[in-house]
Amino acid sequence: MTASIGSTTTASATDPTYGSMLADADRNLYAAKHAGRDRVVNNPPPLPTARRYRDAPIPSLAA
Protein backbone atom coordinates (compact mmCIF):
# COMPACT_ATOMS: atom_id res chain seq x y z
CA MET A 1 0.00 0.00 0.00
CA THR A 2 1.27 3.47 -0.87
CA ALA A 3 -0.03 6.95 -0.16
CA SER A 4 0.25 10.34 -1.83
CA ILE A 5 -0.94 13.25 0.28
CA GLY A 6 -1.48 16.88 -0.61
CA SER A 7 -2.34 19.42 2.06
CA THR A 8 -2.37 23.14 2.67
CA THR A 9 -2.15 25.44 5.67
CA THR A 10 -2.76 29.09 6.31
CA ALA A 11 -1.69 31.67 8.85
CA SER A 12 -2.68 34.77 6.94
CA ALA A 13 -4.44 37.77 8.40
CA THR A 14 -7.12 37.44 5.75
CA ASP A 15 -9.12 34.25 5.70
CA PRO A 16 -8.68 32.32 2.46
CA THR A 17 -11.80 30.88 0.92
CA TYR A 18 -12.62 27.21 1.23
CA GLY A 19 -12.33 26.89 -2.54
CA SER A 20 -8.84 28.39 -2.67
CA MET A 21 -7.60 26.11 0.11
CA LEU A 22 -9.17 23.08 -1.59
CA ALA A 23 -7.51 24.06 -4.88
CA ASP A 24 -4.12 24.38 -3.12
CA ALA A 25 -4.51 20.96 -1.49
CA ASP A 26 -5.58 19.41 -4.81
CA ARG A 27 -2.59 20.95 -6.61
CA ASN A 28 -0.31 19.60 -3.85
CA LEU A 29 -1.88 16.14 -4.13
CA TYR A 30 -1.06 15.96 -7.84
CA ALA A 31 2.45 17.25 -7.14
CA ALA A 32 2.87 14.43 -4.60
CA LYS A 33 1.61 11.85 -7.10
CA HIS A 34 3.97 13.21 -9.74
CA ALA A 35 6.93 13.02 -7.31
CA GLY A 36 6.47 9.27 -6.79
CA ARG A 37 5.15 6.88 -4.18
CA ASP A 38 4.73 7.68 -0.51
CA ARG A 39 5.05 11.45 -0.82
CA VAL A 40 3.55 14.34 1.11
CA VAL A 41 3.45 17.84 -0.40
CA ASN A 42 2.42 20.87 1.65
CA ASN A 43 3.00 24.53 0.95
CA PRO A 44 3.26 26.06 4.40
CA PRO A 45 2.61 29.75 4.92
CA PRO A 46 5.65 32.01 5.21
CA LEU A 47 7.02 32.54 8.69
CA PRO A 48 6.41 35.90 10.36
CA THR A 49 9.20 38.38 9.80
CA ALA A 50 11.70 38.83 12.61
CA ARG A 51 11.37 41.88 14.79
CA ARG A 52 14.24 44.34 15.03
CA TYR A 53 13.58 45.69 18.48
CA ARG A 54 13.53 43.53 21.56
CA ASP A 55 10.36 45.08 22.99
CA ALA A 56 8.34 45.15 19.78
CA PRO A 57 5.16 43.08 20.06
CA ILE A 58 4.94 39.92 17.97
CA PRO A 59 1.60 39.58 16.18
CA SER A 60 -0.45 36.55 17.05
CA LEU A 61 -0.92 33.96 14.34
CA ALA A 62 -4.23 32.88 15.85
CA ALA A 63 -7.10 34.71 14.24
- pLDDT (tens digit per residue) in 5-36: 998 887 665 667 888 888 888 988 988 888 88
Residue 55 has pLDDT above 80, yes or no: no
Which pTM was predicted? Answer: 0.59
Instruction: Please give the pLDDT value at position 46.
Output: 57
Domain boundaries, the chain: 4-43
The per-residue pLDDT for 51 is 52
Q: Residue 15: is it exposed, middle or buried by C-beta count within 10 angstroms (0-12/13-18/19+)?
A: exposed
Residue 52: the pLDDT is: 55
- Identify the pLDDT of residue 37: 86
Q: What is the dihedral of CA 30, 45, 63, 52, to 10 degrees?
A: 180
pLDDT at position 43 is 78
Q: Which residues contact 23 (CB under 8 A, 6 or more apart)?
A: none
